[in-house]
Structures are given as structure tokens and as C-alpha cells.
């Protein structure tokens, strides 16, 4: 995952905290739909602002979203599975 500089992160933190608080107040099934809408809307509006080009949209689908998915697995789900294996034994 391409990390952004520490000094650049602060400009997004309050917005992220507000979004997370709103999502956390919802039932899981509802929150998933809201999160999907938020992610889609950010990408759509970015593409509208920058100008729609196939390669730019493809970079989001094949690059940003795929890498984000892999990073979530590597940093969140993988360690969770490792703890479950240690607790319950491997398959």
C-alpha cells in the first residue's frame, strides 16, 4: 500500500473519524451499503473532477481498490486468522 507522509494524513483524519463514527452507529448490513456508497462516490467524483479516462478508472479498479483489498487482508484479516489458528489449531 502506498503510504502517504505523516504530515499529509492530518488533513483527512477528522473526516475519516466522522465517517467511521456514523458507520459504527449502523447495523453491519446497513453499514456495508453505506461504505460501498462512500467509496464509490469518492472515486466517481474524483474521476469527474480529473476527467474520465479509461486508464484513470482502470487504475482505481485494478490498482487502488485491489491493493486496498489486499492490504485489508494482509493487515486485518490475516493476523486475525493467525490468532484463530493459534487458539484452535490449524485445519
pLDDT 10s digits, 12-37: 999 999 999 999 999 999 999 999 99
Residue 62 lies in a domain: yes
How far is residue 71 from each of residues 12, 28, 31, 76, 79, measured CA to CA in Å? 19, 21, 20, 8, 12
CA atoms within 13 A on the CB side of 53: 5
Whole-number pLDDT of residue 78 = 96
> pLDDT digits over 53-85, tens only?
999 999 989 999 999 999 999 999 999 999 999
Q: Report the percentage of the chain scoring pLDDT > 70.
A: 98
Domain identity same for 63 and 40 = no
> What is the domain count for the chain?
2
What is the domain range of residue 48?
Answer: 10-52
In a domain, 1, yes or no: no
Q: Could you give the dihedral angle defined by the CA atoms of residues 77, 79, 80 and 85, in that order, rounded to the nearest 10 degrees?
A: 120
pLDDT for the residue numbered 3: 77
Pair 43, 64 in one domain = no
Three cell numbers written together for 25:
452507529
Q: Is residue 83 part of a domain?
A: yes
What's this model's pTM, rounded to 2 decimal places?
0.83
Amino acid at each position: 500500500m502506498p503510504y502517504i507522509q505523516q504530515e499529509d494524513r492530518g488533513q483527512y483524519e477528522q473526516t475519516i473519524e466522522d465517517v467511521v463514527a456514523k458507520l459504527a452507529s449502523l447495523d453491519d448490513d446497513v453499514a456495508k451499503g453505506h461504505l460501498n456508497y462512500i467509496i464509490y462516490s469518492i472515486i466517481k467524483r474524483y474521476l469527474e473532477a480529473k476527467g474520465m479516462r479509461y486508464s484513470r478508472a482502470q487504475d482505481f479498479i485494478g490498482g487502488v481498490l485491489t491493493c486496498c483489498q489486499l492490504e485489508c487482508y494482509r493487515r486485518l484479516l490475516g493476523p486475525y486468522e493467525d490468532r484463530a489458528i493459534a487458539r484452535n489449531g490449524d485445519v
